Amino acid sequence: MDDQAAVNFLKENNARHYWHPMADPKASETDPPLILTKGDGFQVWDVDGKPYLDLMGGLWNVNVGHNRTEVKDAIIAQMDQLSYHNTFAGLANAPSIELSVKLTDMMAPEGMDKVMFGSGGSDANETAFKLARQYWKLMDQAEKVKVFSLKNGYHGMQFGALSASGGIVWRRAYEPLMPGFFQIDNPDPYRNPWTDDGQELGRICAGILDREIQHQGPGTVAAFIAEPIQGAGGMIIPPDNFWPLVREVCDKHDVLLIADEVVTGFGRSGALFGSRGWGVKPDIMCLAKGINSGYVPLGATAFNARVAAAWERDHPLATIMHGYTYAGHPLACAAAVANLDIVISENLTANAGLVGAHFLGRLEELKDRHQVIGDVRGKGLMLAIEFVKDRTTKEPFAPNDPFIKALGPACLERGALVRVQGHRMVLSPPLIFTNEAVDEAFEALDGAIAAVAPN
Ligand SMILES: Cc1ncc(COP(=O)(O)O)c(C=O)c1O
């Protein structure tokens, strides 16, 4: 096959045997996906050789950028030694041990003491839920089994993770979901029925959690899980007081606090961990994505000393009857060690804060220029633009509105790869992003919105 024939083969065969996540298979035929063939730094190239700024950062995970020699070398070096073996009882490998030390060092301020590995974010959360239930059984409080979470939260797509996820659009086709999972109102400063005052909103939503736990009975609730910043739900940034108040509510009712740091972990929000940004120490932290920038699938769940202590008890249920074939995968862990070295040595957390502030400033300019923008927000390199038909009523555009459907392609045309989710555009470039790249992104977004917005 010559080069053009190979390109045509890919384009013609994409929809023939292949169903994509989060897509209607019919749409993959009529509206074929962008086929990417190359990445370097914060750029990617499609099969026709056109370059794009990667404003998705892969899927908010390629934090150190594409094609990093240090990460590739670490994977190859590990492949030369041992590509795979399992880590079930009785076996271990060097990079997973090294990574467990590195992670607990990085999360020492949060008091994390033990880690378990999986292959991604959903795995990390499943592990958290199962071990939270096991924890209470080991503590002889076997009725504490329920998991509370926030409406609009995203925790992944496996049954447990989906049961905790609060977006109706993700849940409807797969219901009924797992019993014992309940969602309460999330603090959304832009869209809530109560108040424009952030502190008040934080108190109201923490109060709802408090009352719901009280109502159902603290003796039945194992854990509360939330993202420090709701990512897939539209970059919803809670008020400063929300997480500290949630920690108080959890302590009051003896409920474990799980931070889903799958997106916010390792610098994206401008703090090394999202919880640290809010000044809160969770009991369990769920990690994936930026842990190794997506070079090989990996997730991890970390437990503090309080939780870990339950496994020191002599109990018939103390064995961890949970784990995955790819837990502690040597290539994934070797990639993570190299990746985290870059995050620290290049101070990408600080860069996310600085470049993110510049990006937010430019989004404010976009809002001044386009009436269809109702809100822009961001913390570090987690940013969003919310599109509305009317700024006063905040009526959102429907996901199938011609404007919304045209936005992604119009950005691509101008060299920007973005994620449009319903009436929002979320932006999460690699943490190596620069102010100059932000300015380039601004031109692409400004041109795209001007070209396709109504009026
Ligand atoms: C906060 C959060 N948790 C969990 C997940 C699920 O991770 P994965 O897709 O790796 O299973 C995601 C994915 O985007 C996420 O954003």
pLDDT, tens digit, for every residue of 61-110?
A: 999 999 999 999 999 999 999 999 999 999 999 999 999 999 999 999 99
Domain assignment of residue 390, yes or no: yes
Domain assignment of residue 5, yes or no: no
- Same domain (yes/no): 110, 230: yes
Contact (Cβ atoms closer than 8 angstroms) between residue 264 and residue 373: no
* Ligand 1 mean position, distance from CA 286 (Å): 10
245 lines ligand 1 (CB under 6 A): no
Domain assignment of residue 43, yes or no: yes
445: containing domain: 34-64+347-452
156 lines ligand 1 (CB under 6 A): yes
Last residue of a domain, one of 322, 345, 368: 345
265 lines ligand 1 (CB under 6 A): no
Is residue 1's pLDDT more than 80? no
Name residues whose C-beta falls within 8 Å of residue 362's C-beta, 6 or more positions apart in sequence.
Answer: 438, 439, 441, 442
120 lines ligand 1 (CB under 6 A): yes
pLDDT, tens digit, for every residue of 255-287?
A: 999 999 999 999 999 999 999 999 999 999 999
231 lines ligand 1 (CB under 6 A): yes
Using a pLDDT cut of 70, give the percent of the chain over it: 100
User: Secondary structure of the chain in the HEC alphabet?
Assistant: CCHHHHHHHHHHHHHHHCCCCCCCHHHHHHCCCCCEEEEEECEEEECCCCEEEECCHHHHCCCCCECCHHHHHHHHHHHHHCCCCCCCCCCCCHHHHHHHHHHHHHCHHHCEEEEEEECCHHHHHHHHHHHHHHHHHHCCCCCCCEEEEECCCCCCCCHHHHHHCCCHHHHHHHCCCCCCEEEECCCCCCCCCCCCCHHHHHHHHHHHHHHHHHHHCHHHEEEEEECCCECCCCCECCCCCHHHHHHHHHHHHCCEEEEECCCCCCCCCCCCCHHHHHCCCCCEEEECHHHCCCCCCCEEEEEEHHHHHHHHCCCCCCCCCCCCCCCCCHHHHHHHHHHHHHHHHCCHHHHHHHHHHHHHHHHHHHHHHCCCEEEEEEECCEEEEEEEEECCCCEECCCCCHHHHHHHHHHHHCCEECEEECCEEEECCCCCCCHHHHHHHHHHHHHHHHHHCCC
419 lines ligand 1 (CB under 6 A): no
Domain assignment of residue 7, yes or no: no
What average pLDDT does the chain have?
Answer: 97
Best residue among 59, 61, 122 to mutate for probing ligand 1, ranked by most atoms within 8 Å of CB: 122
Total structural domains within the chain: 2
pLDDT value, residue 16: 86
- Same domain (yes/no): 41, 101: no
262 lines ligand 1 (CB under 6 A): yes
- Same domain (yes/no): 392, 361: yes
- Same domain (yes/no): 183, 314: yes
User: Which ligand 1 atom minimizes the distance to the CA of 121?
Assistant: 7
* Ligand 1 mean position, distance from CA 72 (Å): 24
pLDDT value, residue 455: 73
Last residue of a domain, one of 345, 366, 381: 345
User: Which ligand 1 atom minimizes the distance to the CA of 299?
Assistant: 10
- Same domain (yes/no): 141, 220: yes
* Ligand 1 mean position, distance from CA 437 (Å): 26
Contact (Cβ atoms closer than 8 angstroms) between residue 321 and residue 127: no
Nearest to 329 by CA among 295, 296, 294: 296
Is residue 165's pLDDT more than 90? yes
Is residue 112's pLDDT more than 80? yes
- CATH code of residue 271: 3.40.640.10
- Same domain (yes/no): 219, 282: yes
Average pLDDT over residues 171-177: 97
- Same domain (yes/no): 54, 86: no
* Ligand 1 mean position, distance from CA 7 (Å): 31
- Same domain (yes/no): 146, 109: yes
Residue 429: band (very low, low, confident or very high) from pLDDT cuts 50, 70, 90: very high
* Ligand 1 mean position, distance from CA 124 (Å): 9
* Ligand 1 mean position, distance from CA 1 (Å): 38
User: Which ligand 1 atom minimizes the distance to the CA of 231?
Assistant: 16
Name residues whose C-beta falls within 8 Å of residue 255's C-beta, 6 or more positions apart in sequence.
Answer: 144, 148, 213, 218, 221, 222, 223, 224, 249
For the entire predicted model, the pTM comes to 0.98
Best residue among 62, 158, 263, 428 to mutate for probing ligand 1, ranked by most atoms within 8 Å of CB: 263
Contact (Cβ atoms closer than 8 angstroms) between residue 96 and residue 298: no
In this structure, the residue with its CA closest to atom 13 of ligand 1 is: 156
- Same domain (yes/no): 403, 332: no
- Same domain (yes/no): 148, 211: yes
pLDDT, tens digit, for every residue of 23-52?
A: 998 887 788 899 999 999 999 999 999 999
Average pLDDT over residues 330-356: 98
* Ligand 1 mean position, distance from CA 232 (Å): 8
- CATH code of residue 60: 3.90.1150.10
pLDDT value, residue 173: 97
